[in-house]
Amino acid sequence: MDDIIIIGGGAAGMAAAAGAAEVLAEAGRHGGVTVLEKMPRPGRKIMITGKGRCNFTNMKDWNDFSAHIHPKSTLLKPAFFTLPPEKTVEWLRGEGLDSTVERGDRVFPCSYRASDVVDALSRSVKDAGACLLTGQEVQHVSIRNDDEYGQYFMLRCTSGAIFTCRRLIVATGGLSYPTTGSTGDGYRWAAETGHKVSRCFPSLTAIVPKNYKSIPQGSSMKGSPAPLPGHIDRSIPMSETGSLLNGNSLKNISLTLWIDGNPVQEEFGDIDFTDGGIEGPVGFKVSRKCVNAIINGSKPAISIDLKPAIGKDTLEARIAKLWKEISEDRRSTGKPYRDRFRVLLCKLMPVSLVQGFLKCNPSVDHKSLSRALKSWKFDIGGFVGYERCVITAGGVSSVDLTAKTMESKLHKGLYFAGEILDLDGDTGGYNLQIAFSTGMLAGRSAAISLI
């Protein structure tokens, strides 16, 4: 029988293993920590984080960091101070990972290779004395009691292997990117053992404007593991509008999210038009409220201010001046209005955006252009689901957990960590830090309870 088993070899699971094994080793107990990972290699989701560059933490202090945590940061606070960002950087540096801090306090490996983060985590698990077994998919978890061991946990794997342990840490991840092994098994086990699981939904995902995708009338929208209202599978082809906008990135814009006609969130920064919809840092920031609104039956929309640094009157004067210069230019002689208007647009936005902008604003002219530039509106028709979202919102509720240890209040010796928790963060390194901190606290707490 193992002292501690961790289900899941992702960020939280490997942090838990390193933390638990270190504590036990310091107490003179070795070899009692095992990680069971269903995939052939650990850290599969980490490998695709930040498009493979892996923004693995954010150096903000608690007051600023906690403002980026949803739905409440209370559950995270003790874990954060157990392993704050600076200690995360120090811990991984000790395993050979040098890092660099970029804009917004985001931390990346100096190599900008996510594989180096996974390698550092794997080394940490090994160096601490824990055992990491891959290809072991846990199928069933049960809580047992007998005279010799008291309460213990029995795990049955699809391979036929059976494992038992005194302490169990569930770090199976969420539902996002199921191809990396995140298929929601942990939510089922949590519910079966009486824990409250808050409704799950995709977050940090592409939001899809109406008419951006070519969705055949009456067709069903694919979803995994079960369709959600408003889910539009990323594989659905783009419409003409989507094709014209796809590939454009807008820098330093202001975006306002509207729910049922009311402004609920305003963000400044960058967005990307992709084959999925609207993404990028600002698109991801508003996606949580946007997706939640759609699932709840509300109608979201966004408005984009392409010129947030310029007031409406100043912009109108600038447009009038440019239009006068274009109209008086001898090269404009004999050219139709639409051609001259395109020249104007090219002076005010990326050339690659002009066709898409005109498609979305067919009646705009030089007199109404300032209004369109300051408030380019999109009704949102749906969102990309778990197949390509960055994080799962919702999960095992804080009401059934002890924040100081990550232990279940319902079953002694059972712990939860990482994305399976009802904790998620904005884009910018927050979610991996949540995983590292909660994993480390769960691992250390489980080990301390055995000493």
Residue 351 scores a pLDDT above 80: yes
Note the pLDDT tens digit of each residue in 283-332.
999 999 999 999 999 999 999 999 999 999 999 999 999 999 999 999 98
Note the pLDDT tens digit of each residue in 236-282.
999 999 999 999 999 999 999 999 999 999 999 999 999 999 999 99
97: its two tokens: 């990972």
303: its two tokens: 């408005």
Q: Give the residue from 392, 285, 282 showing the smallest Cα distance to 45.
A: 392
pTM: 0.94
Residue 229's φ and ψ, nearest 5 degrees, are -55, 125
Confidence at residue 216, expressed as pLDDT on a 0 to 100 scale: 66
Confidence at residue 438, expressed as pLDDT on a 0 to 100 scale: 98
Residue 218 scores a pLDDT above 50: no
Q: How far apart are CA 79 and CA 99, in angstroms?
A: 22
What's the CA angle centered on 378, arms 376 and 384, to 5 degrees? 135
Confidence at residue 404, expressed as pLDDT on a 0 to 100 scale: 98
Please give the average per-residue pLDDT across 350-369, as a whole number: 97
Strands (E), 71-161: 99-102, 106-109, 131-134, 138-146, 150-157
Q: Give the residue from 326, 184, 303, 220 showing the smallest Cα distance to 255.
A: 303
- The residue type of 199 is R
Q: What's the chain's average pLDDT?
A: 95
Residue 31: pLDDT band by 50, 70, 90 thresholds?
A: confident
Residue 225 scores a pLDDT above 70: no
Confidence at residue 440, expressed as pLDDT on a 0 to 100 scale: 98
Residue 17 scores a pLDDT above 70: yes
Helix (H, G, I), strand (E, B), or coil: what is residue 416? strand
Residue 220: pLDDT band by 50, 70, 90 thresholds?
A: very low
Distances (CA, A) of 88 to 245, 293, 433, 436: 39, 35, 8, 8
Note the pLDDT tens digit of each residue in 103-120.
999 999 999 999 999 999
Q: How far apart are CA 49 and CA 55, in angstroms?
A: 7
Note the pLDDT tens digit of each residue in 167-205.
999 999 999 999 898 889 999 999 999 999 999 999 999
233: its two tokens: 């599978």
Q: Environment class of residue 9 by beta-carbon count within 10 Å: exposed (0-12), middle (13-18) or buried (19+)?
A: buried
Mutual angle of helices 337-346 and 312-328, in 10-degree steps: 130
Helix (H, G, I), strand (E, B), or coil: what is residue 237? coil
**Could you state, in order of their start, the residue ranges of all structural domains in the chain?**
2-201+392-448, 205-389
Residue 215: pLDDT band by 50, 70, 90 thresholds?
A: confident
Query: Would you say 433 and 73 are in contact if contact means Cβ atoms under 8 Å apart?
Result: no
Q: Give the residue from 241, 250, 246 showing the smallest Cα distance to 273.
A: 246
Confidence at residue 217, expressed as pLDDT on a 0 to 100 scale: 53
Burial 270-293 (b: 16+ CB within 10 A, else e): bbbbbbbbbbbbbbbbbbbbbbbb
Q: Please, which residues have CB within 8 angstroms of residue 290's CB and are 6 or more apart in sequence? A: 207, 257, 300, 302, 380, 383
Confidence at residue 50, expressed as pLDDT on a 0 to 100 scale: 86
Q: How far apart are CA 230 and CA 58, in angstroms?
A: 32
Residue 420 scores a pLDDT above 80: yes
Residue 221 scores a pLDDT above 60: no
Residue 443 scores a pLDDT above 50: yes
CATH superfamily for domain 2-201+392-448: FAD/NAD(P)-binding domain (3.50.50.60)
